[in-house]
Structure 1
């Protein structure tokens, strides 16, 4: 039933778009210049067969992967240090709090001045967009850990690195993954904007070029591509997170939820003393 509802919602949205664009409806919202679903689909199919389209996709994905991977590593490390070390918190915390409200896309002029090429500047914008959500989520997740776990490891002779490896990172992992999920979405917003402003190739650059030459089907193809790529990368992050936290009890709420999964969760709840 869930698959049926999802399919029906998508088809209804596409049908509404087709009718509004086909009949050039102009009420408060104007659809007179919108391409229809059929026109967009034909342009999408045509571009799938061109090398330029796949080069744009490859360039955007490369920028996202490079910037996001760097943000994930540094964000987790710095967020953990901020939560665990008063010295790091005093030295770096105020500076990060001042920089955090600045939109990453506003740093485009800074990136142009700092880096010798546009490519490096766009990766920097992507990194900045993901860095702060990951850092803040990591810091809060580490601070929320119960001290009992750390005390138990220290009682058994564990040192600082053992506590970090066995208690801090595993315990904070769900919060860290939440920050990563937010970060990948914000990264896409900023990398597309940066490509529109100063990029050479990329989905954002191509979408803006289509707009300047009044190729509206091409604009909608770019939008659809951005949405699909964003969904793909978000799914990768979520699947990786579920694999890393497979030891956590969870309900099976996806479209493929099985009776066996629900039964296992009821068993866990009963075991810890909750009513089934």
Structure 2
């Protein structure tokens, strides 16, 4: 089945979700456990999105959020990949670095807010830090997994041919771990956006997360959904972009998967 032939089913699934949303919200469906009494209809959300677009506020919100996610994500990529390579290749690094990182990993982004405010002199740096923590651990763990999954026979063969440690890392370990690293990069991009609302709770001016939270506080329900959908679309698009760039960077893995 080629890629084009799969789109009708994908569009049908989206259409079914929109239809259910429209019917449930317009009829104020109340199932007891879950209620749609206060959920806005898709048409109300569309009106709110058009109003946001016409207001001129969308670009400042988007640019602020994109800058925070990009900065935090790039820092997480550098730290996560380097730490992952070190932990995956060195027992000493695994014993000294992995335990404290594993203690920090389960802490949710919202729990970092008070400490981030105390640690950093500006709210902007605090928001970037929270976005960074969201992306770091998926990248780190997938890099470690990829490095540890490299066939030891390939490393032994390279060593027997006289390859130095740096050459082994560059020519054997990194290419072998690249597919897992790319997966971590895509997941990390998604979690960066996931943490954005939490990060921008600190902000008092701009950002999609801030816009969503502000809409909740003033009970503009349609605007809440607009903010949620914006974060979802941006997260999905940026993750897909990372995966596509990763596929281009690992043609040996892509071609292997097609056979």
CA distance in 1, matches of 2:93, 2:204: 36
Match of 1:3 in 2: 7
1 or 2 for the larger relative contact order (CA 8 Å, sep ≥6)? 2
User: In structure 2, how many angstroms separate the alpha carbons of the residues matched to 1:226 and 1:205?
Assistant: 11
Residue number in structure 2 paired with 1:120: 125
Q: TM-score, normalised by structure 1?
A: 0.87
Is residue 2:30 matched to residue 1:32? no
After TM superposition, the score normalised by the length of structure 2 is 0.92
Unaligned 5+ runs, structure 1? 253-264, 266-276
Residue 243 in structure 1 maps to residue 248 in structure 2: yes
Structure 2, unaligned runs of 5 or more: none
Q: Separation in 1 of the partners of 2:68 and 2:250?
A: 27
Alignment of 1:94-243 (within 5 A): 94-198=99-203, 200-243=205-248
Cα distance in 1 for residues equivalent to 2:141 and 2:31: 44
Deviations 1:47-93 (Å, cap 9, x if unpaired)?
A: 12332111111111111111111111111111111121222223222
- Superposed CA RMSD in Å reads 1.6
Q: What CA deviation, in whole Å up to 9, does each residue of 1:27-60 have, x standing for no partner?
A: 3232222211111111112212332111111111
The answer to whether 1:20 aligns with 2:16 is no
SS in 2 for 1:200: coil
Paired with 1:25 and 1:92, the residues of 2 have a C-alpha distance of: 51
* Aligned pairs, number: 253
Contact 1:119–1:199 (8 Å) recurs in 2: no
